[in-house]
Chain A
Amino acid sequence: MTTTTPNTSHETEASRADEPLLVVEDLAVEYESAGAVPWRRKVSRAIDGVSFEIFPGETLGLVGESGSGKSTTGRAILRLNDAAAGSIRFQGTEVTTLGRRTPLSYRRDVQAIFQDPNSSLNPRHVVGRCVDDTLRTHGVTDPGERRARAEQAFDQVGLSTDHMHRFPAELSGGQQQRVAIARALVLEPKLVVCDEAVSALDLSTQGQIINLLADLQAITGVSYLFIAHDLGIVRHISDRIAVMQRGHLVEIGEAEELFTNPQHAYTRKLLGASPASKPEGRDERRARREAFRQMHEAETQLA
């Protein structure tokens, strides 16, 4: 179901001719359920048969209800979960078979921004240090160079050097998320997995972070896998959108196309469920949801 029609967005138009940056094919991830003794543990597939591509400079939105496997997909790409089957190829290199220790080059190219900005920063370190540690890990040994690059990164995300000496608890949620973005982008990655990167933020801050992500993309040409349950935000930021349901990818397509002309029934349900931004027509929307529900109930009763 993967679409290959060219994107209308200007940055990606040219790049679409390129090779895809990331190719995920038939990916499956399994979790072991907790049990007191080994033989009581069961293995269940959280995602199965997931395939998509991400092109350079593109934002792919990933939506779906809770537990549908969005985060699991992102975590597999980040190698925080092992793949049980399928392949993930980044710039042509197979990632799933890399072994226990992930090469630093992959770590440099693929970064993450997580949902909870507060817990994604070490509470005991001043935030400047988390950028500094990142650079140090990647072999920037000269402290002066590290400081200069950290300052530049902070500046890019709209923070001052003064912020570098603060602890996470002394920053607002939006500022913390900016630090997380600075950490992710200081290595100049090619792909950033944003797992609910703005969901924990206040409305007035969400917009700032989204604008920031878009600006940084325009400058650096980074690609995003943008995971969120809020369709409005995904629509705003994504070039293409993939929809997941119960561990499977059910639809993928150009953002506007998917919103205006959803193909899969589940996508339609998801769209119907997401709150509109204005009150007009809410009674009709409620009636439609009700009809949908009754139809669904009738179906399950038949089955």
Chain B
Amino acid sequence: MTDTYSINLTRAPKPEKGTKSPSSAKRIFDRVRRQPLTVAAFFVIVFLALVAIFAPLIAPYDPNQSDYSTLLSGPTSAHWLGTNDLGQDELSRLLYGTRVALVVALGSVLIAAMLGVPIGLLLGYRGGWTDRLGSRLVDVAQALPGILVALAVIAILGRSLWTLMFAIGLIFTMGFARLTRAVTLTERHKLYVESAHVVGMKERVIIFRQVLPNLVGPIIIQAAVFFGSAIMIESGLSFLGVGLDRDTPTWGGMLSGAVEHQAQQPFLAFAPGIAIIITVLAFNLFGDGLNDAITGGVRKSPRKKLTTAELPGMSNAPTASAATLPGQTYSMGAQDAATAAPDATSPWDSRADEIRTPTGATETLPDPVEGAVLDVRGLSVSLERPEGDVVPLVSGANLSIEPGEIVGLLGESGSGKSMFAKAVMGLLPPRTRLSAGSIMFDGDQIAFQSQRALRAVRGAGIGVVFQDPLSALSPVHTVGKQLIEPLREHKGMSVAEAKERAVELLDRVGVTEARSRLDHYPHQFSGGMAQRVAIAMALAADPKLLIADEATSALDVTTQAQVLDLILDLRDEYGMGVLLITHDLGVVAETCDRAAIMYAGEIVEVGTTTDLFHAPRHPYTSALLAANPASDAQVDRLPTISGRVPLAGEWPVGCHFANRCAFATEACTSAPVPIVDQVRCVRADELTLEAVPR
């Protein structure tokens, strides 16, 4: 028996092995390493495992050897943790008790997983009647108090190590079954499962070889948590005297002995009590930490708080920020206020005319655009990875939008267009931040402002529509409520006024029977209608600027055309500026007055739509136009762009497009390429590029 113990126990502390691909295992390892608590918990677990394995070597006495000369002694030099009522050494019993605790926990969790996981797989995969009936049974079984189940099993099968493991295992079986079922239900509809069907795999093969590997992560996390609980239950049962017999040293048994003799020797309860608490805590913390590492959750990240002082350009004195924004220090007071001075609290001196981008290029900033609703200059966004490195996502972007103008921002996935929009809205996701730049909205500086100040600006002046309309609408409130509330808050309308306005807005965006639809919930609208509602919400604030982030990408062509037409109509009617973010050349061709082309974090070309389509100046723009499969020109083979977009963090020093550019030369790769005269290409002036034939 002792041998099996040690074999099993050596496996226990490293459950994360083999749950993910090598590379993701490494990623998880990196994340775990950055969570001090998880690391500490891991070492506690390793320590416990070592203690359990080497108990015979390190225990000073045989745990069952009685020394009748010292009963209930309390700590002495011979017995560090004292002795119990039979004169047995408490320290030795504690060390041997670790064995029982870990073996029982491991055994019961394994039994639970072996029973519960197949049940869950079957229910989740089969679905239908099997699932409905089975899930009810599982629910009922789980509702039974665990300890009672265990007591019943032990009463029937008698006391033994195996019975104990089985009894505790049964308690967790339903937990595993439910978890597995839930995950399987979502996996079952994934395309890889359907692909396996199409390929002709048998159901059994699909369940066990395709679906099961995807459940390993969640199951292991659950197992780590159950491990802690199992130790608690084992101690509880031993405490009640129904666990293992008295000869086997267990923590629960020690505790119950301590309680019996509390009056004579109060010290006895401490050691087993602390051992239980530490072990349970270690497993729970480790399980949580592992979960965070696998799911990429952020918990107590060492991320620095962004204080005003740290932000570049925040202070007006030439401090460290000067390094980031050289232009600012040169121009300090050197020029007269040729342009209207911005808001006094602005971190950005509008006279600054140069900026250093994260990639190291020193760029000349364009002049501020008078009268623009949005004037973005030198905008850079960076991401702090969980692994600790900081990578630029957007670098030195300039873009302005005039009132009544629709400006497209076109780029492939990962080019940074959404980050650009989020930075403008002040809605950057966790771990990303504005690292440099000026964002003037309707004459006010909105870069590096407090969230409160931003909320006021956004609520009153910027409307936003996202790709997934349902994500912008709250599922638990009616559409009416969601429209009326902001109207009351930002416009100070009465309920009745706000309601009238809401009806008007819905009507305006083409929602039929607007009044009765106020009482509907978002899920009761089709995709296109929901997007109209989202637009109505964006319009509620009478925005000067509407930002549409892939607002039509999820819609089919007919609905897309309707929504785009709506945006055009609203622009004509209200004269607002529109930033239209898209990856679709056709959308730009149909709607935009001007467009900016983004590639790997940089705006590479800006121009009027007609110029871009007929006289592209950047090789990427031209390649993109040529590669458009939707082009009316009938060609046998589509021209393509070879290679792939460099990922954020892997951008080259020089032109980001150089590895795919047919015109690349030495000069392209040696130094960062600045944007000059609206094009970011060193050879822009000498190249004649292909365009869409008129």
Contacts and interface: CB of A to CB of B under 8 A. Distances in A.
Interface of A: 65-66, 78-80, 102, 104, 107-108, 110-112, 114-116, 119-126, 130, 133-134, 137-138, 167, 169-170, 172-174, 180, 183, 187, 198, 202-208, 210-211, 214, 229-233, 236, 269-270, 272-280, 282, 285-286, 289-290, 293
A125 B209 CA distance: 10
A80 B194 contact: yes
Given A123-B214, A137-B200, 7 more contacts: A66-B527, A180-B195, A187-B199, A198-B629, A273-B560, A275-B561, A275-B585
Nearest to A115: B191
A285 B628 contact: no
Interface in B612-650: 613-614, 623-624, 627-632, 634, 637-641, 644-645
Contacts of A78: 197-198
Contact of A230 (B214, B557, B562): B557
Contacts of A107: 198-200
B568 interface: yes
B609 A137 contact: no
B583 interface: yes
21 contacts: A78-B198, A114-B191, A119-B191, A122-B196, A130-B192, A133-B196, A137-B200, A137-B201, A170-B23, A203-B585, A206-B629, A207-B628, A229-B557, A269-B558, A270-B558, A274-B557, A275-B557, A278-B589, A279-B588, A279-B609, A282-B591
Interface of B: 20-21, 23-24, 190-192, 194-202, 205, 209-210, 213-214, 216, 412-413, 527, 555-562, 565, 568, 583-591, 609-610, 613-614, 623-624, 627-632, 634, 637-641, 644-645, 692, 694
Given A174-B644, A275-B589, A133 B201 contact: yes
Chain B binding surface, main DSSP class: helix
Contact of B630 (A110, A169, A204, A277): A277
B294 to A, nearest CB: 12
In the complex, the 9 A-B pairs of residues with the closest C-beta atoms, listed nearest first: A232-B630, A275-B586, A107-B200, A273-B561, A120-B191, A207-B638, A124-B213, A66-B556, A202-B412
A130 B634 CA distance: 36
Interface centre among B527, B586, B624 (most CB of A within 10 A): B586
Given A167-B23, A210-B629, A232-B629, A203 B583 contact: yes
A93 B146 CA distance: 56
A204 B584 CA distance: 11
Contacts of B198: 78, 80, 107, 110-112
Contact of A275 (B199, B200, B587): B587
A122 B624 contact: no
Given A122-B214, A279-B610, A270 B557 contact: yes
Contacts of B21: 124, 126, 167, 169-170
Contacts of B634: 236
Nearest to A186: B199
B512 to A, nearest CB: 10
B555 A204 contact: no
Nearest to B195: A120
B20 to A, nearest CB: 8
Nearest to A172: B644
A280 B199 CA distance: 46
B638 A138 contact: no
Contacts of B196: 122, 133
B627 A214 contact: no
A289 B557 contact: no
Contacts of A275: 557, 560-561, 584-587, 589-590, 630
Nearest to A198: B629
Given A169-B24, A275-B584, A207 B199 contact: no
A286 B219 CA distance: 55
A268 B558 CA distance: 11
Interface centre among B24, B562, B631, B638 (most CB of A within 10 A): B638
Contact of B623 (A112, A116, A204, A280): A204
Contact of A276 (B216, B624, B632, B638): B632
